[in-house]
Structure 1
C-alpha cells in the first residue's frame, strides 16, 4: 500500500519546480495570455508561517499535489496553487488538499477562506461548490460562463470555516 502524507515546504524549494511548471503550463494551455496583463507578483513570504503556508501531498516520495494559502485580510486566508498532477486526477486528491488547507488555515487563526479559479476550469467550480464554497457569480448562467467570462476572468468563491464565539457581556 502506498503511503501518502502532507509536508510543509518553501515555495522556492527546487523539488517543487517540476510540479509548478506543470501547473503553469496547464494555465497557459487553457488560457494562453488571457491573464498575462493582470499577473500579480508572487512573494515567497506570503506562503510562510505563521500567516501563510505552502504544502505538498507526497506519495511514495513523489509530489502529487500542492496547495497554499496566504493572508487575504485579518480573518480570511486566500487559497492558492491547488493542483494535482495530471496523471493522478479524479482520485479525490484536490479535495484532500482543500480539506488540509482549511484545517491549517483554521489553526492559523483564520475564520474564512477565499479563492479564485479561472473561467475555463469547470472541474474546479464543481469541486468548490460541491464542498460548500459560495460563488460570487451567477452559477445559473454557467453554460455562458465558460465562453463569456466575467470582466477579469476570475471566478471568486468564499467559505466560512469557523464561527466566531459569542462575545460575553461584562457584568
Structure 2
C-alpha cells in the first residue's frame, strides 16, 4: 500500500467520514467501555466554525482529523480551535499518517486565523499522547465534556505565524 496520504476536506456527514467516526467510537468502547459523549454539532465543522478532513491511501479512507473553533483560552492565545476526531484505522497505523493529518490540521487552522490548537485525549490512548507531546503540544488546564475526569488529558500548541 502506498504511504502517500491524500487529505480531502469532507463534511462530517460524508459516508467516508461517518464510517471512520463510527470506527473511532468502537475504539473508545474497547478502551473506555463507552462511546465519546462529547457534544458534536455537524455545523461545528463547516466554515467559518471549523473543518473536517478524511485521509485516503490508494483511494481508501483510512484517517480523519478535524478542528472546530473553541472558547478555550490557552497558552496566551485568544483565538483557539479544538482538534477532534483524530483517527487512523489499525491497518494503516505506524506509518506517520496521524502526524501528517495533525500537520494538515495545524496548517488549515492557521490559514483560518487560529492562534492555538487545543485538544482533549485520554490516558488509555498513550500513542495519541506521545504523538501530541512529540509534536510540540504541552499540557493545558482541563476543559470540555470530560473536564475533571481522572482519565482526561488536555494539550495545546501555539501555531506558528
- Same fold (TM > 0.5): yes
Structure 2 runs not aligned, ≥5 long: 72-77, 142-146
Runs of 4+ in 1 over 4 A off after TM superposition: none
- Whether the aligned pair in 2 keeps the contact of 1:51 and 1:108 (CA below 8 Å) is no
How big is the alpha-carbon RMSD for the aligned residues of Structure 1 and Structure 2? 1.9
1:119 CA displacement = 1.4
- Whether the aligned pair in 2 keeps the contact of 1:8 and 1:53 (CA below 8 Å) is yes
Q: Does 1:64 align with 2:62?
A: yes
The aligned counterpart of 1:32 is: 33
The aligned counterpart of 1:16 is: 17
Number of aligned residue pairs = 148
SS of the equivalent of 2:85 reads strand
The aligned counterpart of 2:130 is: 126
Structure 1 runs not aligned, ≥5 long: 138-149, 164-171
Q: Does 1:92 align with 2:96?
A: yes
The aligned counterpart of 1:50 is: 48
Q: Deviations over 1:2-21 (max 9, x none)?
A: 35311000001123232222
- Whether the aligned pair in 1 keeps the contact of 2:43 and 2:49 (CA below 8 Å) is no
The aligned counterpart of 2:153 is: 155
SS of the equivalent of 1:101 reads helix
Return the alpha-carbon distance in structure 2 between the equivalents of residues 113 and 15 of structure 1: 25
SS of the equivalent of 1:120 reads coil
- Whether the aligned pair in 2 keeps the contact of 1:119 and 1:154 (CA below 8 Å) is yes
TM-score, with length taken from structure 2: 0.84
SS of the equivalent of 2:160 reads coil
Return the alpha-carbon distance in structure 1 between the equivalents of residues 65 and 101 of structure 2: 6
